[in-house]
Amino acid sequence: MKRIFVDAVAWIALLNSRDSLHQTAKQLMMSFQQQNVSLVTTEFVLLEVADALSSPASREVTVAYVKRLRVLNRLEIIPVSQTLLFEGWTLYSQRPDKEWGLTDCISFVVMSQQQLTQAFTSDRHFKQAGFANLL
């Protein structure tokens, strides 16, 4: 079964109808559903989503959205762990030449560990790290 990593960019685009990537993200997600693609994300990514959509006007919708994500059968959410944080921090520390954030580094570690090559994102940092962007 095909598996794809989902970054905060995609989750935000799917939720926010005013996002410039909203329609494209919706079309891709429908395509993933039709193809029975399994999705992978992390608690760290969901934290990033909550931080990005934390305004009082967005908070209730964001909470409901993340609750719905947590019960999707075809979504694996990798939990926060000290080990994963350490591995992401190690990558972050080893790449002073990049603007990669810590959450991105953690995502790259997960993608490498799970042998995932495609990310549902438009974030150029994933391309820099050697992964294919789908958004």
Reading the block at residue 53, the tokens are 């959509």
Q: What is the pLDDT of residues 37-94, one digit of tens each?
A: 999 999 999 999 999 999 999 999 999 999 999 999 999 999 999 999 999 999 999 9
Give burial (CB, 10 Å; 0-12/13-18/19+) of 99: exposed
Distance of CA 115 to the CA centre of its chain: 15
Residue 95 has φ and ψ, to the nearest 5°, of -120, 60
- Report domain extents, the chain: 3-80+116-133
| DSSP, res 133 | E
Q: What is the pLDDT of residues 80-107, one digit of tens each?
A: 999 999 999 999 999 999 999 999 999 9
